[in-house]
Structures are given as structure tokens and as C-alpha cells.
Amino acid sequence: MPHDAVSDATFSDIRPRKPLVALFLSVCPGLGQHYAGHLGRGILFYITLIVASWLAAIAFMSIGSKLSIVFLCVPFVGVALIAFDAWNCARHQSPDYRLQWFNRLWIYAGVFLTLLFTVNPLMDLLVGRHVVRAFFMTSSSMAPTILDRDIVLVNKWAFPKRGDIALIHFGEKKPGAKLTQLIDDQFIKRVIAVPGDTLEIRSDTVWINGRKIEEPYANFSGMLRFIGTESADYGPATVPPDSYFVMGDNRNESIDSRLLGFIGKGQIGGTVTKVFWSWNFEEGGIRWDRTARSLK
């Protein structure tokens, strides 16, 4: 190869790093550092952000105080700091920076797509299945405790006790059964009775083991849409082993154990502990007062 051709090829590999490009690429945290010539730094920051975000979610879920809202800021602050660091790395990179093997557009695109379609879903699957997950409420069956369009957090580590709110896996819908077609695969109800309890419902009053229980959360303002006044009473019945009796707080708007029967232990997917976010743009937009609200 002629000397001039070698010189031109060498010169073409010298590309100053542009801070604004690094900042733009930081929409995928760590990719800006990758662009700026700090591949290992970018990978480390990405992993740190993922771990810190999930730890923050666990802390937010576990702490009852409204101060836990601080932990909601962790992912956003982390992304901002990583973006600033990428901008700074590019700004301080040598003007005669020589492109590395990883400074290729197709590699940037490959990293972004790999994270988007493999790493992120895998993390969501592992943590969502075993630690904490979010659930979007699409009914008023738990009002006023949980409102339609609340996003709540489910603690997968905590199995609900009597009185706790639980995430329940209903399972497959039964073809042709009008009732089960009204139910989502997963729904949220309150655990009213546990294995061995004797349950009886008379005139909207719940009796457990012969004692009337206080239910400040119960709401009877809606219409008896599903059960009808002639079938509002229930029991007495004893809850079988490894089974639970659940009801919605909005008693007249809820399909629950009064119609579905007992819920098996294996169908319970965790304890609902807190409202993460809430909005209803038909009624004023974001419901800020519900953010970080603990549920009881």
C-alpha cells in the first residue's frame, strides 16, 4: 500500500469524541461512556444502575413512611449522573482519539438492542417473579383502599396474613363461563379467612370463628352488581387446608371467594404493600397524594 494511503487510513481512524453525542447515547445508560472510549466504565455503570434501582425499589416497598418516596428518585438520579459522566468523559478525551474496535455504529446499535430485548426483560422477570413487581389496577373492586389506575407494589417475599391484601393468580379462564370471563388472570383482593377458620357473612358483617371482625376498609356504597341481595349472606363454612377466603374491599363491586370459592395457597403471589403511582386523567390527572401510600 502506498505511504499516502496508509497515512489517510490512519488519519481516518482519528475521531474526536463529541460530548453532545455521548450525552445523547446515554439514553441507554453506559453507552455514552462506550462511545467516549471507556467501555469498562460504561458496563460497570450500567450494572450499578440496575442493582441500585432494584435495591431502591425494595427499600421503597419495605419502608412505610412517606419519606420512602426518596427511593423513587434513585433510577432518575442515576441515569442523570451517568449521562453527565459520559459527557464529561467525551469532553476530556484526547482530540486525536483513535477509534477502538468497539467504536462502531453497528456495535452501539447491537448493545442497545441486546439490553432492550434480553438483559432488561431478564432482570424484570427474575426480580418481578421473586422479589418485587408492579401491578396496574384496572377495576374499582378494592376502592377506596386501592383505586382504579393505581400502580401498586407486590412484595413477593411476604406471604399475606389474615387482613393483608394479596395478589392472586386466577389461572385460565373457563370457556363459555360468563363469570370467569369477567376476571383477569391476576387480581387483587384482601385475605379475610385463613386455613382452619370458620367464616360466616350475615348482613354485610363478617364473623370469623364466632367473632365479629372490624373492617374499616370495607365499602358498601356500590350496587350489588354480582351477588344480588338474596345471596349476599355466606356460610358458615370452614376454610380447608392450604386455602384462603378473599374479598374485595368494595364489597358490592367485587367478584371474589363469595362466588369463586376458596383460593389455593399456590395461587397467592405475594402481599400488596404500597401504591407506587396513581393517575386518572379523566378526573384531574396524577393523584400525587397517593404516591408512596402504604396499604393496610
Q: Pick the last residue of a domain from 130, 156, 172.
A: 130
Are both 260 and 285 inside the same structural domain? yes
Asked if residue 144 and residue 286 are part of one domain, the reply reads yes
Residue 243 φ then ψ, to 5°: -135, 160
CB-facing half-sphere around the CA of 214: CA atoms within 13 A: 1
3-state SS of the chain? Answer: CCHHHHHHHHHHCECCCCHHHHHHHCCCCCHHHHHCCCHHHHHHHHHHHHHHHHHHHHHHHHCCCHHHHHHHHHHHHHHHHHHHHHHHHHHHCCCCCECCCCCCHHHHHHHHHHHHHHHHHHHHHHHHHHCEEEEECCCCCCCCCCCCCEEEEEECCCCCCCCCEEEEECCCCCCCCCCHHHCCCEEEEEEEECCCCEEEEECCEEEECCEECCCCCCECCCCCCCCCHHHCCEEEEECCCCEEEEECCEHHHCCCHHHHCCEEHHHEEEEEEEEEEEEEHHHCEECHHHCCCECC
> pLDDT value at position 259?
86
Distances (CA, A) of 286 to 40, 178, 278, 290: 40, 34, 6, 9
Could you tell me if residue 188 is inside a domain? yes
| Pair (177, 275) in one structural domain | yes
Q: Answer whether residue 144 is part of any domain.
A: yes
Q: 68 with 207, same domain?
A: no
Same-domain check for residues 243 and 223? yes
pLDDT at 234: 87
120 and 141 share one domain = no
Whether residues 207 and 151 share a domain: the answer is yes
Q: Write down the catalytic residue from 141, 254, 257, 278.
A: 141
Cis status of the peptide bond prior to 241, with omega within 30 of 0: no
In this predicted structure, what is the pLDDT of residue 204? 84
The residue from 88, 108, 130 where one domain ends is 130
- Which one from 156, 189, 257, 278 is the annotated catalytic residue? 189
Q: Is the pTM of this model over 0.85?
A: no
Is 296 within the bounds of a domain?
A: no
Range of the domain at 171: 134-290
- Of 92, 114, 130, which residue sits at a domain end? 130
Both 161 and 280 in one domain: the answer is yes
- For residues 155 and 48, state if they share a domain: no
Domain membership of residue 295 (yes or no) is no
Query: Is 174 tagged catalytic?
Result: no
Please report how many Cα atoms fall inside a 13 Å half-sphere around the Cα of residue 86, on the Cβ side.
30
155 neighbors 188 (Cβ within 8 angstroms): no
Instruction: Average pLDDT across each block of 10 residues of the chain; the chain has 296 residues. List them in order.
Output: 44 85 94 94 92 87 81 91 97 93 90 79 67 85 91 90 92 49 75 96 91 92 57 84 95 88 93 87 79 86
Same domain, 120 and 35: yes
How many Å apart are CA 197 and CA 117, to the nearest integer?
46
Q: Does residue 109 belong to any structural domain of this protein?
A: yes
Query: Are 286 and 154 members of one domain?
Result: yes
198, part of any domain: yes
Task: Please check whether residues 88 and 144 belong to one and the same domain.
Answer: no
CATH code: domain of residue 272? 2.10.109.10
Mark whether 161 is an active-site residue: no
Could you give the number of structural domains in the chain?
2
